Amino acid sequence: MDYTLEKTAAADHALFPLLVRRWSPNAFSPEPVDRETLATVFEAARWSASCSNDQPWFYLVATRDDAAAFETMLGCLEDGNIKWAKTAPVLAIGVARLTFERNGKPNRWGYYDLGQSAAYLTVQAMSMGLWVHQMGGFYPEKVREVYGVPEGYDPVAAIAIGKMGDPSVLPGYLTERHNGPRSGRKPLREFVFTGRWGEAAF
C-alpha cells in the first residue's frame, strides 16, 4: 500500500518537481530501506559542496533491522519526536566538525556545510521514493555520550528516512499534523534583498 501524501508547495515560481513535492511527513512506513539505497542516500551527502572541500559532515545511522541499535538512537530523541519517528525504518544523526581537518582552526562553515549535505541527502532520498523528516528535538549530549562523539564535533540534527506510512496509527494530533496543510513560507520580498538590507529584490 502506498501511503504517499502529496503536499505541493504553494510556490510563486515554478520549482523543480522534486523540490515542490518535498515536505516532512510524520507517518513513516516501517518497510526497510535496502542497504544499497541507503548507501546512495549518504553518497549524495558525500558529494555536497563545502568550504575548501573540508567535508565537515558526519552521520550516525541506525536501521530498524537492528532493533537494539534502533532503540538506542530512538532514545536520544525528545519524547514528542519518538512518538512518530519510532515507525521509521531508518534514523540518523547529522554531526558537524567545527574545525578544519587540514589545520585544526575553527570552521565557521561546519554547520552550514552539514546542512547542505543533509539537503542533498534529502533530494537523493526523494528521487528514490523516500521521504525525510529532520528534527532539532533530540539530546546532543546523550548522543555524544552514547556514541562517543569526540570534542570538536557537534550533533546537530536527527533525521528520519523512509517511505510514508499509515498516519492513522499515530496519536491523533500527529495524524492531523501529517494530514494537514503544508506549512507556509515568508515571501521572497522578506528575505531576498538588493542594495540594502530590507529592500526587496523581487
Site for a copy of itself in 165-194 (CB under 8 A): 183, 185-188, 191-194
Nearest to 93 by CA among 72, 67, 109, 108: 72
**Longest C-alpha distance within the chain, in Å?**
55
Closest distance between a copy of itself and the C-beta of residue 36, in Å? 7
Give the torsion sign (CA, 52, 53, 58, 59): positive
Q: Is 99 in the site for a copy of itself (CB under 8 A)?
A: no
Contacting residue, 5, 20, 82, 174, with a copy of itself by CB under 8 A: 20
Q: How far from chain centre, in Å, is Cα 74? A: 15
123-142 binders of a copy of itself (CB under 8 A): 123-124, 127, 134, 136
Nearest to 108 by CA among 54, 64, 72: 54
59-88 binders of a copy of itself (CB under 8 A): 59-62, 69
d(CA 41, CA 128): 9
Contacting residue, 30, 32, 51, 174, with a copy of itself by CB under 8 A: 51
Q: How many residues line the site for a copy of itself (CB under 8 A)?
A: 76
Contacting residue, 22, 64, 163, 178, with a copy of itself by CB under 8 A: 22
Provide DSSP, 85-107: HTT-SEEEEEEEE-B-TTT--B-
Q: Is 18 in the site for a copy of itself (CB under 8 A)?
A: yes
Contacting residue, 4, 31, 34, 49, with a copy of itself by CB under 8 A: 49
